[in-house]
Structure 1
């Protein structure tokens, strides 16, 4: 190696540079999507605006939708993470109910708070709308797997899948509600107040079936699955 050769950058610097480039591309793409629409914006335009090669864009974001929905990994894992991290003695329903209220109070983008421009962009794009439905499905599947694991049930069993479908439906409906209120022009504070009250009613519909489902017991106690009353034959 000659004295004039530039030594390779430390791994930390290389990773930081990658993150900077990724964020730059994401920010540029978002600005273009908001100004001219998702469907109308091309990868070539994004690359030109970010001053990078088109291949660089696709290396960081294999799908065009990934440029717009940059919280998708966190979104998909969110419900399962709440289940895995819930408190001792807390049922899945209680944990998810609490987590949603916290997210709504904080106007968390993962819960659906995106701002009017972003909400319009998704509503106006068939591609993004379809991808968002896929992400809801993936989140429900991740929740079903977490429920199966926490109750010691096979992942293909109908019980965790049904519980995940019910809980996922409430979250999907609340997400859509936040988007509706955003498109209607309400601010985040007003939306939060509305959906927290509505979430209480929505989750309340599941209490009769899931109130004690997969509750975390005390140390050394296994989680409880669905509790049902004993069914003895009626005496004549």
Structure 2
């Protein structure tokens, strides 16, 4: 029963977020009241806030499965693999499957979602908070790695990895937003990723 209850909660959470994002993409984040989202998702307003304490979380739920991902990659890397090599490999794999978080995805809804997330000040600010949590988690993972000499290096490196990921995704998305094709942008995205991680390894 516990498993079924959790599954139901996840289904309700997904349905609320999907209804909200659909409305936001159609009319804009600030133009859609929470009461309308609750009605569209067929839940009460208190129920909505039970699942999503902040309106901005309705947007970020779509990428919540990536929370703590960098730390997991470092902790689950193969024996003998350098943490940065693991993160580099992971990013290249994400590019290959055109994961939206890499910016290398030209599906109209994905492009619109990115404009929503980064073009809405309150959502962008909330996203920075999520990134800060990711940075803390990655710092802790780096601190456990024997290849990282001390806590300061772990902290600095985590900040640089998060910044590199953000910049790479921004360049990829902007190239597509400028009207270039995925086939044109993908080789450049791979080159940028290789260059970014080379800089991180030799910094």
For this structure pair, what is the TM-score category when the shorter chain's length is used for normalisation? Answer: 0.7 to 0.9
Matched, 1:58 2:52: no
Query: Which runs of 5 or more structure 2 residues have no equivalent in the other structure?
Result: none
Aligned pairs for 1:1-236 (under 5 A) are 10-112=1-103, 115-151=110-146, 157-209=151-203
**Which structure has more helix as a fraction of its residues?**
2
The alpha carbon displacement at 1:133 in A equals 2.2
Query: Which runs of 5 or more structure 1 residues have no equivalent in the other structure?
Result: 1-9, 210-236
For these two proteins, the number of residue pairs brought into alignment is 199
The answer on whether the counterparts of 1:28 and 1:49 sit within 8 Å (CA) in structure 2 is: yes
The TM-score, its normalising length taken from structure 2, stands at 0.86
Deviations 1:84-138 (A, max 9, x none): 1111221112111111000011111333456221122123311112122222222
The answer on whether the counterparts of 2:92 and 2:190 sit within 8 Å (CA) in structure 1 is: yes
Q: Secondary structure in 2 aligned to 1:89? A: coil
The alpha carbon displacement at 1:11 in A equals 3.8
Between structure 1 and structure 2, the one with the greater Rg is 1
The answer on whether the counterparts of 2:75 and 2:141 sit within 8 Å (CA) in structure 1 is: yes
Q: Secondary structure in 2 aligned to 1:52? A: coil
Root mean square deviation, CA, Å: 2.4
